Amino acid sequence: MTEKTEFTSWIDDTYREVGRRPVPEGEARTLLIRRHFPAWVVDVWDAVTDPERLSQWFLPVTGELELGGAFRIEGNASGEILRCEAPNLLAVTWNFGTGPSSELMLRLADVSRGETALELEQAPIPDRIDMDGRRLDPVLNDYETGLFGLGTGWELALISLARFLGGDPITDPATWEEAPEVQNFAVRSGELWARLAAEEARERP
C-alpha cells in the first residue's frame, strides 16, 4: 500500500473539471478546481482577500481592493473586482500578459465546523497560437517549455494556501517549486488536466 503524502492526497482529493458555460459572447470554456480546506470559511476568505495575508502565500497585491476597484498582482495579473460577497463569493476580471481577459471566481462554503469547500473557476480559457502556428492549450502542462498550464498553476497556488492556513507556509516558493516531489506532482497534475481537456474537446459539437 502506497503511503499518502501531501501531494498524493492533493492529487486524489481534488476535483478538476474542464467544461463550458454560456457568456454574453456565446459559450466559454471553463476550468474548475474544488478542494476542501481544514479551516473556517471566514479564515479562508480573509486569506484570499486581505492583501497582507495574500502576499504570504501568493503574491503582493495592490490597488483599490473594493467592489469596482482595480488591482494588480506583482509580476502576474491585473483586473477589476466584479463581485465581493463576504465570506462566500469573489469574482474578478483576470488580465495576464497579452492574452484576452477572463473572469476568475472563488466560491467558499462551510462544509462542517472548521472545514471549507473552495471552488476556483476561470473562464473563458482561450486557445493560443504560437509563432509556428501551432494551437496551444493554456489549461495543459507544456512539456516543451517546462511551463505549467493554468490547471497545474492554480493547484500549486492552492497548495500554498493550504500550507499557509495550516501554519506551515512556503517561505521560498522558487526553491519549493524546484523540489523533485513538487515537479513530480506538477507532471501528474498536468497529465490529469490534459486528459480532461481531451475529453472536453471530444464532446464538443
Measuring CA to CA, how many Å separate 108 from each of 41, 86, 204?
7, 9, 30
Q: Please state the domain count of the chain.
A: 1
Residue indicated by cell numbers 501531494:
7
Domain carrying residue 147: 6-203
Is-contact 115 37, C-beta < 8 A? yes
What is the grid cell recorded at 69?
Answer: 476597484
Provide the phi-psi class of 188: left if phi over 0, else alpha when psi is between -120 and 50, else beta: alpha
Contacts 24+ apart (CB under 8 A), 199-204: 199/18, 200/18, 200/19, 200/20, 200/29
Q: How far apart are CA 8 and CA 75, in angstroms?
A: 30
What is the DSSP annotation of the chain? -PPP-HHHHHHHH-EEEEEEEEETTEEEEEEEEEEEESS-HHHHHHHHH-HHHHHHHS--EEE--STT-EEEETTSEEEEEEEEETTTEEEEEEEETTSPPEEEEEEEEEEETTEEEEEEEEE----EE-TTS-EE-TTS-BTTTTB--HHHHHHHHHHHHHHHHTT---S-HHHHHHSHHHHHHHHHHHHHHHHHHHHHHHH--
Write out the three cell numbers for 88: 462566500
Bridging pattern class, strands 26-37 and 115-123: antiparallel
Q: How far apart are CA 120 and CA 122, in angstroms?
A: 7
Q: Is residue 175 part of a domain?
A: yes
CATH number of the domain enclosing 99: 3.30.530.20
In order along its 205 residues, the chain shows pLDDT tens digits of 456 788 999 999 999 999 888 776 677 889 999 999 999 999 999 999 999 999 999 999 999 999 999 999 998 899 999 999 999 999 999 998 766 788 999 999 999 989 999 999 998 876 655 566 655 566 665 555 544 688 899 999 999 999 999 999 999 998 998 999 998 998 889 889 888 888 887 877 6
pLDDT of residue 146: 46
**What pLDDT does 139 receive?**
64
**CA–CA dist 190, 127 (Å, integer):** 16
pLDDT for res 134: 59
Tell which residue, 43, 77, 40, has the closest CA to residue 58: 77
Q: What is the pLDDT of residue 15?
A: 97
pLDDT reported for residue 13: 94
**Is residue 1 in a domain?**
no
pLDDT, position 27: 77
What is the predicted pLDDT for the residue at 20? 85
d(CA 48, CA 108): 10
